Structure 1
């Protein structure tokens, strides 16, 4: 099946709050686009209000320089982050990692109010006792997903997100770290999958958001949001 390969990197700023992080880089089909098509968050502080518009693409992100071309080259995604001497997201910030796409008219001007469909996720693996954030750290900040092969050509926002649950035993305790990338897809086809809106996709009381990860049966952990599209 035809697919595009993506790799995302989350990196904590050395001058910002310890343990906090931002998604900063993007690889497409093994090609490093660095930060050229990301709407960079203003800081590495988390969003904590799921009813805020900040839950879309973070708080006051800067404009991206480009729209990255996602062309079907039938190559495997591969990424390596150099000189990463600390965890991608540290400070016991355990939680899931998710990736969404939203079909938009113009990636450079879209405000994130369109619907997003989920294309990748990693919650908690009870057999290895690893969270999605552990996968980020094990892979130097990298998280890879495949772009569905049959989505229509055109512009998209790609929303990468990690949720830290170390203080999520009460509503408002979960920390959301997300960034949006601007993409242009070609070589696709078909129809756009149904999606969800941000805000609206999450509730502060969702079992995968309001959870005591130190006192719960994590083998039944429910990843927030919709299912990954087939």
Structure 2
């Protein structure tokens, strides 16, 4: 029996999946699953070559999803949970250690019709291993914040319609590939009063590789540093 209990605990931990469920704009909650491309379940993406890496499963179109208008320079919050409600447990499971990132991509026309393919994504936020001594990760901070993390939309982004892509790279079983569990949520927004910047862009999928040290890594081997996939953050 002493072997069964740890096995059951690890199985429960592995199944503690989650999704991005809320978007906040300048402190205002937009409502559950509002302006978000909602996946069919809360499972992670593990294949970094799959188009599911863009905006999760069935996330390449958002024709049934509304688009919210936000001013350039706004502060948004993305909120994640294991279940379909704010329940009070660790929102993304305390065992899911890893990085939290946010990307934006400008749509050629409307956000609702944009599939996010090609070199269109710009990273505007990334947080990973915060304290090597205590092994505190960005996911720990999200949990203590009720599932939320904040990011400022650069004021220099041109006005237009965009996808905002939130990502959690959970690394608790990432010592071999495929192991990293990537949780993705995309919001549809229209940015007003923007600037004229032309930020650097990457492809998702395309840029992430199975051999990236941010994808395949043993976080339990006294890890002292971590490099998240997708390159550096553009600050605007």
Deviation at 1:136, TM superposition (A): 1.1
**Alignment map for 1:106-117 (pairs within 5 Å):** 106-114=110-118, 115-117=120-122
Aligned equivalent of 2:106: 103
Q: Deviations over 1:58-84 (max 9, x none)?
A: 011484531011125x87667999943
| In the alignment, structure 1 residue 37 sits paired with structure 2 residue 35 | yes
Aligned equivalent of 1:46: 44
Q: Deviations over 1:114-148 (max 9, x none)?
A: 41001111101125532111111010010100011
Q: Is the 8 A contact 1:18 1:90 kept in 2?
A: no
Superposition TM-score, scaled by structure 1 size: 0.85
Deviation at 1:194, TM superposition (A): 1.4
Aligned equivalent of 1:67: 67
Corresponding residue pairs, total: 212
Which of 143, 150, 166 is residue 144 of structure 1 equivalent to? 150
Aligned equivalent of 1:195: 201
Aligned equivalent of 2:22: 25
SS at 1:171's partner residue?
Answer: coil
RMSD, aligned CA: 2.2
SS at 1:60's partner residue?
Answer: coil
Which of 93, 109, 117 is residue 90 of structure 1 equivalent to? 93
Deviation at 1:208, TM superposition (A): 1.1
**Alignment map for 1:132-171 (pairs within 5 Å):** 132-171=138-177
Q: Deviations over 1:144-165 (max 9, x none)?
A: 0001111100000000000111
Alignment gaps of 5+ in structure 1: 1-16
Q: Is the 8 A contact 1:99 1:119 kept in 2?
A: yes
Partner Cα separation in structure 2 for residue 79 and residue 103 of structure 1: 19
Partner Cα separation in structure 1 for residue 188 and residue 153 of structure 2: 14
Aligned equivalent of 1:4: none
- Over 3 Å counting, the alpha-carbon distance change for 1:151 and 1:45 in structure 2 is same
Which of 55, 58, 70 is residue 57 of structure 1 equivalent to? 55
Alignment gaps of 5+ in structure 2: 1-13
- Over 3 Å counting, the alpha-carbon distance change for 1:19 and 1:91 in structure 2 is farther
Q: Is the 8 A contact 2:95 2:172 kept in 1?
A: yes
